[in-house]
Chain A
């Protein structure tokens, strides 16, 4: 009988083409590994999945988006603004103006010394080792000669002599003759055989052609290649006399040009301002097709900066938390599990770390890195290391606390009883039970690290300009004018920050729920 049974049971030949059936549980119910279980539970949690999606989006936005955007993070954009710029300046002259003869030199030191000499009514003065003699030859008009009085080096006068056209040049000697005539009130002057008449208005005429004109008013254009015609000056002076703020100049062809006049009480001079187009940085530009989110305070594209900023913030968040957690879990675990002097020692170190203030360390580090002229990318890396290093005590205490209570639970006693070795006990049995709390803390840490980075940027210790991070983009929000008028500066960055941190927390929540074996669903 038994032979038959055996043969029946063990004879596969009859059942070659049929499937193997077994009564074991593992073939009856589809089971999954613990990890897969967690994943399934996680995916069933709608909120957590939303969080995951948001996170994925953020990652794609920051990393891939940053790679495909056409602009660079710190690329500047320009626009043309209209601004009033100084075109000319007008003043009634009360200081000496100098003309130097061809081939002679009369530097500014000499001019200064001359002023002193004129005041003291001296006959000569010395400047830069050259001696000059002066002679007063009219009201507020001096001629400056070389030491022996033979060569005329320069003239100093309050009156200004200008030719009527840009191309005319008045030779020095004629200039001198004109000044002499004008300051002495003469009606005519002789020069190189010709006689010129001097009119009451200061015009020097050769018959009826105007050769030059002299006056007390200085009308000086700012750019040296601009020439102001006589009619311009005359119209301008009229406008100033009338005390008006606006001045419209009509030249011979009838074209008009608008100018504004402003008076500076301190220097007693008038500025003639012209509205010109100037190139400025394209700051606070509204969103357009080229700049989907507008430009920021410095004229850089917001969207690109958001992408690059996202990279920085995400990097920082992950790396810092990673460092914190590794150190914290290891030390906290050891401390909680071993107890005794190990526990004491580690906890005391934790205490010390708690007491050390982070601010001075960060300031010192910042200064040290400045001194070493570190590349900004490496700076960020070190910053992260330090933040992580300062953050592990919190995690360690948490882990230790959990382990202290878990250690006494029955399943641990059971594990010990079954002879599982210590390290396996810690890492396979104890720590997984700490994970729920740990995950929540980690995700919150991620969020708060990103915020800490933003705060450090606010204080100037974080990511440096021109590199972007969400933290230093949001900094601009301090100014209420920006807040109310330029929504595109802060709302996108705020939304990104909010969404990312929120997403981290939601995922963390979902994971916690998924890990918990006692969950209802």
Chain B
């Protein structure tokens, strides 16, 4: 179910599907949300983990791995670097706050590449005044507390504050020394900790001007948010609560001594096993991986990857000594299992495949020859409409524009059933919300307010009844669509649309990357929709692209009106990436993929942010339901289907009792691979 195991070392027991399962992991995790909004993630690693070459696993390896994936030149698939970890930006991009830069440059600085003389002068005058105030505050506090007498020197008062200075020291000097000695030059840290009452904003009225980040090209030497706290413990500090961060922290532990250079690792001196910005050492070993998993890599030749059991695996030595991974054509997968070439594989699962498997077994999906496990695919298929390209007039958010899109959406939706049933049969389901069923935030039919997508007409009345047959449904959908067109401003006469309002057209194009072979379940939906729309007087052009990257290029250029594609989902249903438009700020920093639908709804934006910033699952689920309702309201995304993936095992050769029980989307068969035995 995608839940997180916090106590990996002793194991956590969680019930699933009627059975209690105990899950183990390599580490314990404790999450503390602090008052100031930061979050601490404290990890405790097991002390008996060993890499497959015998070297023990320590927290240094974890830190090394994190630094590799956070390196500015990293171009692999982990995205730890984009998480709100303290000090991450500074490490990567040579950004520093103006405050720190001016301070470090000193009062006599003459280099004005990054700020002006004016700014510098103002800074120093305010800071110097602030220093006086700060020290005076401390002295006053001590005096008031009775630790010092009136008229005591600065040094005397500061002595009671914990600082030993010469008697003749002045306030500014004392300030500087406190910063330099105790806080390694970090003024803010010092002020924050040692203050007797004022904050830095109090001391320097225009402080906020200096908090902007300035790119200097020299980045920080380490990530302050990644802290080693012991040989097997560490802490990650996040600058704000982010529900998605915890999933990103599940990085693989790569061995420092193998991928990096132990000689170059010195935590205290900001050396992490490889020269910063140069990952060649790590890249060189890409083809010969090594780690602490259940099997170790032996070689890759003749199209087969050979693995041998790693006896020092922490969950127990694997029962099957050799495992081979072989690249096989999809159509050969089933036959491979039947004839004995392969034992476990994942054929693409549609009606014909299911029929073929059943035929082998004599009628069922699981039988004497083949055992089939199906899990929902982590993702779903959809038809998208770009709000800026399909709208009435010039406002994509107006009711008319939405009605125009709803007209198309209603027609597309009614043909989903016939296409998905034909192509997938019972092994895929039509979904009604743009979210994968694998997500815990997906609305279920038992939930309050669950509705079939686009099943209402302009007034909000449902258009389908349970006794309608297919033709009646199509007729109802067409009638409803006509209503939507009319509400959008189209001229309707005799059941056909005759003219389009300003800013809209009578003809729209939908692109589908089906490799030119029409082998895509949504293709039939589009073909049927085209005919239906033609009856209504609208021309829908269906373009089959041989090359799917043409679609992405077109989307990026904002030239695509409607298209078919699928989303891959992640464990966390965070919607920032796709639906966040930052429209309140004029679209300054939208989510990375917002350009696709271009849903620009302020309320949706704030809901997404709020959902993200809490870790309470119930609250988030309710929030996401509200978000999903808004997304459906915009009619920019028509969710089509959710398919299943199948893993098939050879019943004849694999001892099915030893296979990972209750396989789910998030707990694959490889999770307990060490237990699998052959007959």
Interface, chain A (partner B; CB < 8 A): 74, 76, 78, 81, 83-84, 86, 88-91, 93, 95-98, 107-109, 111-112, 114-116, 119, 128, 218, 220-226, 265-267, 269, 278-281, 283, 298-299, 366-367, 370-371, 373, 457, 460-462, 464-466, 472, 475, 478-482, 485
Interface bits B449-461 vs A (CB < 8 Å: 1, else 0): 1111000000000
Q: How far is the CB of B88 from chain A (nearest CB, A)?
A: 29
Is B568's beta carbon under 8 Å from chain A? Answer: no
- A464 near B517: Cβ-Cβ < 8 Å: yes
- A481 near B355: Cβ-Cβ < 8 Å: yes
Interface bits B603-640 vs A (CB < 8 Å: 1, else 0): 10001000100101011011101100100000000000
- The DSSP consensus for interface residues of chain A is mixed
- A465 near B426: Cβ-Cβ < 8 Å: no
Is B519's beta carbon under 8 Å from chain A? Answer: yes
Chain B residues whose C-beta falls within 8 Å of the C-beta of A373 in the assembled complex: 543
| A480 and chain B: residue at smallest CB distance | B335
- B546 near A461: Cβ-Cβ < 8 Å: yes
- Cα A480 to Cα B515 with chains together (Å): 22
Query: With contacts A461-B546, A481-B355 known, what are 4 further pairs, Cβ within 8 A?
Result: A109-B623, A265-B664, A280-B425, A465-B514
- Cα A480 to Cα B332 with chains together (Å): 8
Most buried by A among B351, B465, B546: B546
- B546 near A95: Cβ-Cβ < 8 Å: no
Chain A residues whose C-beta falls within 8 Å of the C-beta of B425 in the assembled complex: 81, 83, 280
- B355 near A107: Cβ-Cβ < 8 Å: no
With beta carbons under 8 angstroms apart, the residue of A89, A223, A462 that contacts B465 is: A223
| A84 and chain B: residue at smallest CB distance | B426
| A128 and chain B: residue at smallest CB distance | B603
Q: How far is the CB of B294 from chain A (nearest CB, A)?
A: 26
With beta carbons under 8 angstroms apart, the residue of A90, A112, A370 that contacts B550 is: A370
Interface residues of B in 82-141 (CB under 8 A from A): none
- Cα A464 to Cα B550 with chains together (Å): 17
- Cα A224 to Cα B450 with chains together (Å): 10
- B518 near A465: Cβ-Cβ < 8 Å: yes
- B interface residues, how many (CB within 8 angstroms): 68
Chain A residues whose C-beta falls within 8 Å of the C-beta of B17 in the assembled complex: 265
28 contacting pairs across A/B (C-beta < 8 A): A81-B425, A84-B426, A86-B429, A96-B448, A96-B622, A97-B448, A108-B626, A111-B622, A112-B607, A112-B622, A112-B623, A112-B626, A119-B619, A220-B450, A222-B445, A223-B466, A225-B462, A265-B664, A281-B419, A298-B518, A298-B524, A299-B422, A461-B516, A462-B516, A465-B517, A480-B356, A481-B355, A482-B352
Residue pairs across A and B with CB atoms within 8 Å: the count is 170
Chain B residues whose C-beta falls within 8 Å of the C-beta of A96 in the assembled complex: 448, 622
Q: How far is the CB of B234 from chain A (nearest CB, A)?
A: 31
- A98 near B331: Cβ-Cβ < 8 Å: no
Is B77's beta carbon under 8 Å from chain A? Answer: no
Is B662's beta carbon under 8 Å from chain A? Answer: yes
Chain A residues whose C-beta falls within 8 Å of the C-beta of B451 in the assembled complex: 224
Q: How far is the CB of A170 from chain B (nearest CB, A)?
A: 16
- A83 near B616: Cβ-Cβ < 8 Å: no
| B666 and chain A: residue at smallest CB distance | A266
Most buried by A among B351, B425, B426, B518: B518
- A116 near B664: Cβ-Cβ < 8 Å: no
- B446 near A218: Cβ-Cβ < 8 Å: yes
Q: A112-B619, A112-B623 are in contact. Are A478 and B331 (CB under 8 A)?
A: yes
| B514 and chain A: residue at smallest CB distance | A465
- Cα A366 to Cα B514 with chains together (Å): 14
Chain B residues whose C-beta falls within 8 Å of the C-beta of A223 in the assembled complex: 452, 464-466
- B545 near A370: Cβ-Cβ < 8 Å: yes
- Cα A84 to Cα B425 with chains together (Å): 9
- B625 near A111: Cβ-Cβ < 8 Å: yes
Is B71's beta carbon under 8 Å from chain A? Answer: no
- Cα A421 to Cα B106 with chains together (Å): 98
- B664 near A266: Cβ-Cβ < 8 Å: yes
- A370 near B547: Cβ-Cβ < 8 Å: yes
Interface bits B10-46 vs A (CB < 8 Å: 1, else 0): 0000001110000000000000000000000000000
Q: A115-B622, A366-B547, A367-B547 are in contact. Are A89 and B445 (CB under 8 A)?
A: yes
| A264 and chain B: residue at smallest CB distance | B444
With beta carbons under 8 angstroms apart, the residue of A86, A279, A478 that contacts B470 is: A279
- Cα A281 to Cα B447 with chains together (Å): 32
Q: How far is the CB of B435 from chain A (nearest CB, A)?
A: 13
Is B1's beta carbon under 8 Å from chain A? Answer: yes
| A86 and chain B: residue at smallest CB distance | B445
Interface residues of B in 338-376 (CB under 8 A from A): 351-353, 355-356, 359
Chain B residues whose C-beta falls within 8 Å of the C-beta of A464 in the assembled complex: 516-518, 544, 546
Chain B residues whose C-beta falls within 8 Å of the C-beta of A283 in the assembled complex: 351, 422
- Cα A371 to Cα B618 with chains together (Å): 47
- B626 near A109: Cβ-Cβ < 8 Å: yes
- B614 near A281: Cβ-Cβ < 8 Å: no
- A108 near B625: Cβ-Cβ < 8 Å: yes
Chain B residues whose C-beta falls within 8 Å of the C-beta of A115 in the assembled complex: 616, 618-619, 622
With beta carbons under 8 angstroms apart, the residue of B446, B462, B464, B527 that contacts A90 is: B446
Interface residues of B in 471-520 (CB under 8 A from A): 514-519
Interface bits B431-451 vs A (CB < 8 Å: 1, else 0): 000000010000011111111
Is B421's beta carbon under 8 Å from chain A? Answer: yes
Q: How far is the CB of B426 from chain A (nearest CB, A)?
A: 6
> Lowest 10 CB-CB distances: which A-B pairs, in order?
A465-B518, A265-B17, A112-B622, A108-B626, A481-B356, A89-B445, A223-B466, A112-B623, A91-B446, A281-B422
Most buried by A among B352, B359, B418, B448: B448
- Cα A279 to Cα B356 with chains together (Å): 22
- Cα A96 to Cα B625 with chains together (Å): 13
- A460 near B619: Cβ-Cβ < 8 Å: no
Chain A residues whose C-beta falls within 8 Å of the C-beta of B524 in the assembled complex: 76, 281, 298
- A367 near B546: Cβ-Cβ < 8 Å: yes
Is B261's beta carbon under 8 Å from chain A? Answer: no
- Cα A298 to Cα B422 with chains together (Å): 8
- Cα A485 to Cα B470 with chains together (Å): 29
| A283 and chain B: residue at smallest CB distance | B422
- B618 near A479: Cβ-Cβ < 8 Å: no
Most buried by A among B426, B446, B518: B446
- B622 near A108: Cβ-Cβ < 8 Å: yes
Interface bits B521-551 vs A (CB < 8 Å: 1, else 0): 0011001100000000000000111110010
With beta carbons under 8 angstroms apart, the residue of B355, B421, B469, B611 that contacts A280 is: B421
With beta carbons under 8 angstroms apart, the residue of B544, B607, B664 that contacts A465 is: B544
- A116 near B614: Cβ-Cβ < 8 Å: yes
- Cα A119 to Cα B448 with chains together (Å): 19
- A460 near B446: Cβ-Cβ < 8 Å: no
Is B417's beta carbon under 8 Å from chain A? Answer: yes
| A111 and chain B: residue at smallest CB distance | B622
Q: How far is the CB of A415 from chain B (nearest CB, A)?
A: 53
- Cα A475 to Cα B545 with chains together (Å): 19
Q: A86-B445, A108-B449 are in contact. Are A278 and B546 (CB under 8 A)?
A: no
- Cα A83 to Cα B464 with chains together (Å): 19
Q: How far is the CB of A1 from chain B (nearest CB, A)?
A: 92
- Cα A84 to Cα B448 with chains together (Å): 24
Chain B residues whose C-beta falls within 8 Å of the C-beta of A109 in the assembled complex: 603, 607, 623, 626
- A91 near B622: Cβ-Cβ < 8 Å: no
- B622 near A460: Cβ-Cβ < 8 Å: no
- Cα A373 to Cα B451 with chains together (Å): 38
